[in-house]
Amino acid sequence: MLQKIDRFGVMAVMGRPVLFFGELNRMIYAENVVAAYRSRPRDNWAEWTDKNPVLARLLAEAEKLCQ
C-alpha cells in the first residue's frame, strides 16, 4: 500500500487527504517485515540471525502473528 500511496497519492488510494497515525505505523511495520524477509538468505539463516538480531526478532514475531 505504501508503494501505491507513493505513486498515486493518499487521496487516490485511501479516498481521503490524510493517513491516520495508526495506519502509518502498521504500514511501516509491514514494510520492515518485508525488508527483513528479503534480506534473509535462503541457505544460512543462523549466521544471518547472529548478524541481524533485531530483524530476526521482527520476523519471528511476524511469523507468530501469522500462525
* Spans of the chain below 50 pLDDT: none
| Model confidence pLDDT, tens digit, residues 34-49 | 999 999 888 888 999 9
Given a contact cutoff of 8 angstroms between Cβ atoms, the answer to whether 27 and 1 are in contact is: yes
Residue 62: the pLDDT is 93
- 11-16's contacts with Cβ under 8 Å and 24+ in sequence apart are none
Residue 57: the pLDDT is 95
Give the global pTM.
0.76
Q: Which residue has the cell 549466521?
A: 47
d(CA 14, CA 32): 21
